């Protein structure tokens, strides 16, 4: 690599082999969801910065790349310097997720869309995070969303379509963990936590995987605002969930684990909804594995009901997730519209997918430098027209390594174009021999 010539920090180039794999996996994901009645849309990469930072993106809002206003005056620069704040100098930002842009898109086009709108978005997002292994500043998200469907039909379609899509990618053993924000809140109410403290408590519970039960309780104790009784009851519950293990979602499991502990009608509705989902999914011929995880929180503040997360044995972090966010679109549109989404963790699964076998014929024509240009292009064209992908390759000093790399790039045959060669007389040999 030439000195200092690299893509921006935390962003990646994709060479042909990687690009082919990524595009193929994306296409298969889109095809999988399309079969289930979803349709792809696209929004610009940028949104008004005021919209991106209106409180619906959680911590990601702080990670937005901000685009400078085009004609900044001396006065504007002076004002920003005086305020010691560059915020006023940007008017657009790169999207940090696909959910806020979708809510904006739906609000712009509701009248042109079906009453229940099932969207696919497979597109890059940007976050100015500190780059680290497996975490990038530009990465692809694959979201599906059902907008306008208040019933559990939305969740069930998302789960069935996602399970089919994982299966079509050859990713077996995906487990969907489900919970409901209303159940979580009903539990916290049952434990006696003050409603104003729930968001903070959930942030701690969300760290359960990393810091364990003791860590969660210690963190909440150190906040100094929770009663010892509430913390004890939370601890008892977390221990009960731990000892029960993650069990297949059934009415019995849900009622046993959380039934006696919750308070409130909303939580009861959450339970009823999960039971409905479980019963519907169980009817599918190849039912995806749904497990009930009453400690599942999911980070984003906008979830209002069901939440899910997809786990796979080969990935330490989740390979997908989502949930119901009935309140968000109303923030843009001015009237409430129910919405529920699921996102496949594209960057986490793209390398788990085996490359699709291609039956395409790929021909490498190794040509002698003395072959006249007009003859060479005519020969190439004749192979293209016979239905092959054709690559010209000037005869190198050492042919072996070149053919090997072309074989790895999916070419299947090669032949020599010598001075005086005719297309018909070129003998093709298999590259795999």
As given in the structure block, the two tokens for residue 95 are 């999207």
Contact region with a second copy (CB under 8 A), list: 38-46, 184-192, 195-203, 314-322: 38-46
Residue from the set 235, 247, 289, 391 that interacts with a second copy by CB under 8 A: 391
Considering only 55, 115, 243, 245, the residue that binds a second copy (CB under 8 A) is: 115
Quick check: 235 binds a second copy (CB under 8 A)?
no
* Residue closer to a second copy, measured from CB, 75 or 265: 75
Residue 401 sits in the site that holds a second copy (CB under 8 A): no
Q: What is the C-alpha separation between 172 and 357, in angstroms, rounded? A: 18
Q: Which of 25, 29, 56, 94 binds a second copy (CB under 8 A)?
A: 94
Give the shortest CB-19-to-a second copy separation in angstroms.
Answer: 5
Of the listed pieces 41-49, 176-184, 189-197, 254-262, which binds a second copy according to CB under 8 A? 41-49
- Cα(70)–Cα(141) distance, integer angstroms: 29
Cα–Cα dist 395/405, whole Å = 14
Report 125-164 residues binding a second copy (CB under 8 A): 126, 128, 138, 151-153, 156-157, 160, 164
Helix/strand/coil (H/E/C) assignment for every residue in 187-202: HHHHCCCCHHHHHHHH
- For residue 265 the two structure tokens come to 């009608």
Binding of a second copy by 6 (CB under 8 A): yes
Site for a second copy contains 55 (CB under 8 A): no
Q: Is there binding between residue 397 and a second copy (CB under 8 A)?
A: no
244 binds a second copy (CB under 8 A): no
Cα(315)–Cα(352) distance, rounded to whole angstroms? 9
Phi, psi of 156 (to 5 degrees): -65, -40
Q: How far is CA 172 from CA 126, 178, 215, 314, in A?
A: 29, 18, 33, 10
Q: Choose which of 194, 236, 242, 385 interacts with a second copy (CB under 8 A).
A: 385
Among 167, 251, 263, 280, binds a second copy (CB under 8 A): 280
Determine if 339 is a binding residue for a second copy (CB under 8 A): no
Long-range contacts (CB closer than 8 Å, 24 or more residues apart) made by 152-156: 152/273, 152/276, 152/277, 152/280, 152/306, 154/324, 154/338, 154/339, 154/340, 155/273, 155/277, 155/306, 155/308, 155/324, 155/340, 156/277, 156/280, 156/281
CA–CA distance, 22 with 300 (Å, rounded to integer) = 27
Of 213, 353, 388, 431, the residue at the interface with a second copy (CB under 8 A) is 388
Q: Which of residues 63-92 bind a second copy (CB under 8 A)?
A: 65-68, 70, 72, 74, 77-78, 80-81, 84, 86, 89-90, 92
Q: Which of 195, 357, 370, 373 binds a second copy (CB under 8 A)?
A: 373
Instruction: Give least dist CB 193 to a second copy, A.
Output: 33
Q: How many CA atoms lie within 13 A of 20 on its CB side?
A: 10
């Amino acid at each position: 690599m030439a000195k200092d010539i690299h893509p921006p920090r935390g962003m990646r180039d994709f060479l042909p082999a990687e690009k082919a794999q990524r595009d193929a996996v994306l296409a298969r994901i889109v095809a999988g969801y399309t079969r289930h009645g979803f349709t792809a849309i696209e929004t610009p990469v940028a949104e008004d910065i005021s919209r991106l930072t209106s409180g619906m993106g959680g911590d990601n809002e702080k990670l937005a790349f901000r685009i400078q206003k085009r004609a900044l005056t001396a006065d504007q620069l002076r004002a920003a310097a005086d305020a010691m704040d560059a915020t006023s100098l940007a008017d657009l930002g790169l999207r940090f997720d696909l959910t806020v842009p979708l809510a904006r898109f739906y609000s712009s086009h509701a009248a042109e869309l079906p009453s229940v709108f099932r969207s696919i978005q497979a597109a890059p997002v940007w976050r100015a995070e500190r780059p680290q292994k497996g975490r990038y500043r530009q990465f692809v998200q694959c979201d599906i969303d059902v907008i306008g469907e208040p019933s559990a039909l939305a969740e069930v379609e998302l789960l069935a379509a996602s399970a089919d899509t994982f299966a079509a990618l050859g990713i077996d053993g995906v487990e969907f963990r489900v919970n409901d924000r209303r159940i979580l809140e009903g539990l916290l109410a049952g434990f006696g936590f003050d409603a104003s403290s729930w968001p903070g408590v959930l942030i701690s519970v969300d760290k359960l995987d990393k810091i364990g039960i003791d860590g969660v309780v210690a963190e909440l104790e150190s906040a100094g605002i929770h009663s010892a009784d509430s913390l004890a009851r939370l601890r008892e519950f977390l221990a009960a969930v731990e000892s029960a293990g993650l069990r297949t979602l059934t009415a019995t499991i849900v009622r046993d684990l959380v039934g006696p502990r919750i308070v409130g009608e909303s939580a009861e509705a959450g339970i009823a909804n999960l039971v409905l989902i479980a019963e519907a999914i169980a009817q599918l011929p190849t039912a995806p594995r749904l497990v009930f995880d009453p400690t599942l929180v999911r980070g984003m503040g906008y979830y209002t009901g069901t939440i899910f997360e997809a786990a796979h044995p080969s990935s330490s972090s989740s390979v997908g997730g989502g949930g119901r966010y009935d309140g968000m679109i109303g923030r843009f549109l001015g009237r409430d519209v129910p919405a529920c989404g699921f996102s496949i963790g594209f960057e986490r699964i793209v390398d788990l997918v085996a490359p699709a076998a291609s039956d395409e014929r790929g021909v490498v024509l190794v040509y002698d430098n003395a072959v006249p240009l007009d003859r060479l292009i005519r020969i190439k064209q004749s192979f293209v027209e016979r239905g092959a992908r054709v690559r010209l390759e000037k005869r190198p000093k050492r042919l072996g390594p070149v053919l090997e790399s072309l074989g790895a790039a999916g070419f299947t045959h090669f032949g020599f174009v010598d001075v005086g060669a005719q297309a018909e007389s070129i003998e093709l040999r298999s590259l795999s021999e």
